[in-house]
Structure 1
């Protein structure tokens, strides 16, 4: 029973989210108490499903780029030939944590203009650190006996990396990607301040018009997405950990 309940809860949350995105007017009676008299309840300045898909696409693109760069750097510095670049790599991936996303947006807009590009840059920089550190931890804490056995069978360095090291480290790497995605889901909302099409558009509209229903709608959609994606990654990590 304990295994079924969380699954049912996640399925219910997903069903509620999809229903709200496809037919938000269904939930109008629940949100009506949050607005002033005669004020609109459901956000109608843009399609909620479209905004959600654009929000997810932005997060996916930034996370994919951050994963490629962070994993490549971690692989490089975990090899003897690249060990001396570890301090430099750590400095590079820490840039996103040193500068707040708002500051990155402010610096990026004059260079690339308004829209999605500055948001992608901010999310990319912000997502590097957890992926890099987890990948590095996964690659440097592998069972020495397994690595030595692979070397003893005559595997090349590339073969050991692809067939042994990365598969064994994958649960830890995915944990870093999961953290990066969840952070980016929330951070992407500020992209609407520079004209990016994200769910932050709904929240900002609510703040500007003093419409609490809009703020709740945007916040709940982002929160539900974060929970579902977090659980999805966790499930994959557990399966990979069992297989390895």
Structure 2
């Protein structure tokens, strides 16, 4: 005999797709937020490339160095939108309405994660396209691009899951956006924009042992066709963050949905 949990799980994928379309429509309708999330990483890339890049020695074109960092920056901006959207649902009565419907309860959180990952990957694709137009010329082949895309996608999934958990924990949408500032700030204290070897010893220790540095180093080495020893730490960090994010989101959603 099928348990109630397994019976409900059959509706996870179709219900998640419904929630994904709902979240996507909300994002498209919020034109100003969407434009800011898509253009801010590009503006930061232009700032670092043409204002700061000439004074930063990285052993090659600075644009090639900074593009992987911009990918992580897109993730941070996307996380802020996701956290705010989730908190809006949590505080504006949407959960109470969905609770009365015959749907898989976790589909709401899964829909937010799916929409956030899709939106962020689109922002990364746009940023990379602009970088190519500016002269970005990675030397890797299709397989390396595929591996780099898989890694950045794993990182985006992990950070989006964290953003969903933060959105559920926040008391209001403004607080949810504030809680994700740390995510946006993390790439700056890493090898995303400058080599960690140029940092003070105490700061370099922090930069070398946080998630962004192994991820950005691995992506950079894949796209530049160079060797790296940071691949396993990068995957481990992404997996750990994803596990924490999904677990915290599930616990928070279960607690809130029973209130």
What TM-score results when the alignment is normalised by the length of structure 2? Answer: 0.35
Select the structure of larger CA radius of gyration: 1
